[in-house]
Amino acid sequence: MTEIDARLREEVHLLGELLGETIRAQLGDAFLDKIERIRTGAKGGRRGSQAAADQLGETLDGLREDELLPVARAFNQFLNLANMAEQHHQVRRQAPGEPEPFENRVLDELLPRLLAGGADPAELASRLAGLDIELVLTAHPTEVARRSLIQKYDAIAAELAASDHDDLTERERAASRLRLRRLIAEAWHTEEIRRQRPTPLDEAKWGFAVIEHSLWRAVPDMLRDLDDALLTHCGQRLPLEAVPVRFASWMGGDRDGNPNVTAEVSRQVLLLARWMAADLHLRDIDRLQVELSMQDASAELRDAVGDHAEPYRVLLKPLRERLRITRDWAEACLRRPVPEPEGVLRDQHELYAPLALCYRSLCACGMAVIADGRLLDCLRRAAVFGLHLVRLDIRQEAGRHAAALDEITRFLGLGHYSEWDEAQRLDFLVRELDNPRPLLPVDQPLAPENAEVLATCRLIAATPAAALGSYVISMAGAASDVLAVQLLLKEAGLRRPMRVVPLFETLADLRGAREVMARLLALPSYRARLAGPQEVMVGYSDSAKDAGTLAAAWAQYRAQEELVTLCREQGVELLLFHGRGGTVGRGGGPAHAAILSQPPGSVAGRFRTTEQGEMIRFKFGLPQIAVQNLKLYLAAVLEATVAPPPEPEPEWREEMERLSADALAAYRGVVREHPGFLEYFRQATPEQELARLPLGSRPARRREGGIESLRAIPWIFAWTQTRLMLPAWLGWETALRNALQRGEGALLQDMRAHWPFFRARLDMLEMVLAKADDEIARLYDERLVRDELRPLGQELRDLLSQAEQVVLDLTGQSRVFEHNPQTLEFISVRNTYLDPLHLLQAELLARSRQSGTEVHPPVEQALLVSVAGIAAGLRNTG
């Protein structure tokens, strides 16, 4: 087994020791001894000691009710501290002779490789500067940590970085240790879990805080590194106006199945973003005014400000005042609508132009070294974040638009839109889109849910285009779903183009995506309204829940191929929007490998993808880690554009069809057709409890019903808590076993060696299997599942074992993920702290269910803390 880096191990030990001191100070030596017995019992149990396992069980069984919460908190806190140490280790100073992390050197390795492959330096630099990557930040219904606690963890990471010097004196080390102990004590004495469900506005504030505390600094740092790489390898600088990466958000705009997101909520989120953008830019300008005290200026700048001793400060003073007016106006509008006063910034150019003029003047006067300092960072932020910080997407379910149109057609005496076939709908929609008159009188009342749809459309019409991204239609399955939104936007007064994006997210919808888009693009009036690329969203979460990850992945790949071909034939630029989650069961996994495994031609300088709650925190919560992950995106999108992966061989396609069919039948045979599956799922996992815990603003279900009504995130999250990880692997075991039995092992090996798509899926499957644990899942069954359903649990664990074995047979390893021993060691270390939480959670679930509807607050709080701790320990959980 590969040892974890000694410095990381030392830091984890130090943080654990300081946490122990904090616990002892509050709860005493006896309680800390009990925590240590639990830890050593879990560690010994993992090593096969039955005596240690018995000791662990006895200690947990003997906990008093008032000890449940502090025990859960202790292990939860340790796992979060371990995360902080790992994050710091990822970006820490390198020891002499130690290689740079891959994320740091990815561009410096890629550019020479592409140049050696025949790329022209000037063209390569142009391609890189012209990349259009948009990361769409979304809320996470299973993000359980409070923002105040996350900020304390960030402070701990910052202190670890500050003390990462070999030449610190003993006094300095003691002071650093004291600061760490104080921060850990602050975290320990802060309640981990919010007591009330967050509102959509709370979620938006959380997302904006990530921008303020991390991305605001990370973006210019990343662009500096990109500029250096381009100059070194291509002999060119990154243009000032280049925006290869930008950000959008669903927080406060995603109303699909979330009645808490209204037009008024979206209005407030838009204003909050406007306020924060003005405030952040204002802070930058304040600092710039201190720095730019120079007298020399270009004729261009002198013409703008006249003859002054400090021309740069004179130029920036009006901009500073306009930013203040904009900020104050947006803040006032959050309380009540206020007319825009004179001076409010309305166009990004009004922010960018004065800064660019200062930059040109400094460079012209021999002060480029000053221009390339803070001023350059301000220019980069102005280009990337603009006046609106992020572009807000609007998402709504297709049925809501159909319901609104149904009420409108009934009012007009035209019949029931909901009962028309696709041809009738298209005929009506095309005719009305071309008709300049409105459909409804201005004051025509509608049912509240339909009035809300139109209110959202009116908000869009009244909002600057730069503040908005796309209008995403979930559960889209027909061309009429897109035209319906366009008609409702027209009715609301929108007179500019807006990208209306169908989201294909079930297996049937993915398979029908080409036909839907072909029908749309065949309409001359639709083509005339199309401004910019045709955006199509591919849903990973619901397709995987519908069909299993193997069949869904192949359907997603095929749909992208077909859409690329269709748009190429139609002469239309295509932008694919990837709705990926954090975990493998929702299309997650390493972004770099995922992008490089997309179909050739599907990543053509453009890439749009969701980044969800907990992964936002892990990938972008600290500036240096954010820089690394942004570089990975840049490198992967550039490589997929310039040197796309090969077309799959015909025999690979045929094999994927066989694998997909076998996996789909196996997955649905369990999830849809087994008569006891739904009840087993509800008994064996914390699914029911998750639905009532204050995790996110969105309900866990779209509607009442079975598995089909459950959202993909809690579906995945519930299985992750028990370590069965079922949605991420179910179906693979049957498909791969059948292929090997047919004698297709050599073909599978060939696919794994030469096809990035297949290799990436197998790698992600291995990662899931490395985290799965059939013994932990069995413990949940023994404590929670009725006798008649336990055989199903055993069947599922047998299937998990089969999945592990077939992967070993295919890869030739003796242990899953053997090629990544450090990750296995990380998992092993974490298991010592996860095992007690799993056992405690199973006990808490049992107590909660025995007490019926009246759950004791200590039990409920300890249960939620156990959920948080397991999520922290496993990271990509939902």
In tens, the pLDDT along 636-678 reads 999 999 999 989 999 999 999 999 999 999 999 999 999 999 9
Give the model confidence (pLDDT) of 542-601 as tens digits: 888 889 999 999 999 999 999 999 999 999 999 999 987 544 434 445 678 889 899 999
Task: Tell me the CB-side half-sphere exposure of residue 326, using CA atoms within 13 A.
Answer: 29
Q: What pLDDT, on a 0 to 100 scale, did the predictor assign at position 585? A: 39
- Region 459-479: mean pLDDT is 96
* Top-tier CATH class for 272-383: mainly alpha
- Region 339-356: mean pLDDT is 96
Share of the chain above pLDDT 90, in %: 68
Marked catalytic residue, from 34, 88, 140, 490: 140
- Catalytic annotation on 140? yes
Q: What pLDDT, on a 0 to 100 scale, did the predictor assign at position 94? A: 62
Q: What pLDDT, on a 0 to 100 scale, did the predictor assign at position 877? A: 47
Q: What pLDDT, on a 0 to 100 scale, did the predictor assign at position 855? A: 60
Task: Look at 729 and 545; give whichever has higher pLDDT.
Answer: 729
Cα–Cα distance for residue pair 252/261, rounded to 1 Å: 6
Which among 726, 740, 716 is positioned nearest to 666, based on CA atoms? 726
Share of the chain above pLDDT 70, in %: 93
pLDDT-based confidence at 180, cuts 50/70/90? Answer: very high
Structure tokens at 188: 């320990």
Which among 148, 155, 154 is positioned nearest to 191, based on CA atoms? 148
Cα–Cα distance for residue pair 702/712, rounded to 1 Å: 10
pLDDT-based confidence at 198, cuts 50/70/90? Answer: confident
Backbone phi and psi for residue 842, each to the nearest 5 degrees, phi listed first: -60, -40
Give the model confidence (pLDDT) of 208-252 as tens digits: 989 999 999 999 999 999 999 999 999 999 999 999 999 999 999
Q: Is 804 helix (H, G, I), strand (E, B) or coil?
A: helix
Residue 701 has pLDDT above 70, yes or no: no
Give the model confidence (pLDDT) of 797-848 as tens digits: 999 999 999 999 999 999 988 888 878 888 888 888 899 999 999 988 988 8
Q: What pLDDT, on a 0 to 100 scale, did the predictor assign at position 398? A: 96
- Region 866-875: mean pLDDT is 85
Residue 5 has pLDDT above 90, yes or no: no
Q: What pLDDT, on a 0 to 100 scale, did the predictor assign at position 841? A: 92
pLDDT-based confidence at 11, cuts 50/70/90? Answer: confident
Structure tokens at 95: 């020891």
Measured at the CA of 537, the angle between CA 535 and CA 538, to 5 degrees, comes to 140
Task: Look at 581 and 202; give whichever has higher pLDDT.
Answer: 202
Structure tokens at 355: 């800064």
SS (H, E, C) 110-129: HHHHHHHCCCCHHHHHHHHH
Cα–Cα distance for residue pair 684/824, rounded to 1 Å: 26
Backbone phi and psi for residue 42, each to the nearest 5 degrees, phi listed first: -65, -40
Chain position carrying tokens 């005496």: 413
Q: What pLDDT, on a 0 to 100 scale, did the predictor assign at position 45? A: 84
Long-range contacts at 838-841 (CB < 8 A, ≥ 24 apart):
838/722, 838/723, 838/776, 838/779, 838/780, 838/870, 839/56, 839/57, 839/60, 839/779, 840/60, 840/63, 840/68, 840/71, 840/72, 840/75, 840/866, 841/686, 841/721, 841/866, 841/867, 841/870
Contact 488, 500 (CB under 8 A): no
Cα–Cα distance for residue pair 364/297, rounded to 1 Å: 8
- Catalytic annotation on 317? no
- Region 786-799: mean pLDDT is 97
First to last CA, the chain: 29
Cα–Cα distance for residue pair 584/576, rounded to 1 Å: 19
pLDDT-based confidence at 352, cuts 50/70/90? Answer: very high
Q: What pLDDT, on a 0 to 100 scale, did the predictor assign at position 375? A: 97
Residue 455 has pLDDT above 90, yes or no: yes
**CB count in 10 Å sphere of residue 665:** 15
β-sheet bridge partners, residue 578: 538, 609
- Region 476-504: mean pLDDT is 96
Using CA atoms in the order 726, 727, 729, 730, what is the torsion angle rounded to 10 degrees? 80
Chain position carrying tokens 């993992």: 46
Q: What pLDDT, on a 0 to 100 scale, did the predictor assign at position 829? A: 81
Quickly list DSSP for 273-317.
HHHHHHHHHHHHHHHHHHH-------HHHHHHH-S-SSHHHHHHH
Marked catalytic residue, from 545, 578, 619, 838: 545
- Region 292-296: mean pLDDT is 95
Q: What pLDDT, on a 0 to 100 scale, did the predictor assign at position 219? A: 98
Residues constituting the chain = 878
Residue 519 has pLDDT above 80, yes or no: yes
Where along the chain do the CATH 1.20.1440.90 domains lie? 272-383
Give the model confidence (pLDDT) of 270-281 as tens digits: 999 999 999 999
Cα–Cα distance for residue pair 558/578, rounded to 1 Å: 14
Residue 92 has pLDDT above 90, yes or no: no
Residue 81 has pLDDT above 50, yes or no: yes
* Residues 6+ away with beta carbon under 8 Å from 293: 310, 312, 313
Give the model confidence (pLDDT) of 15-34 as tens digits: 999 999 999 999 999 999 99
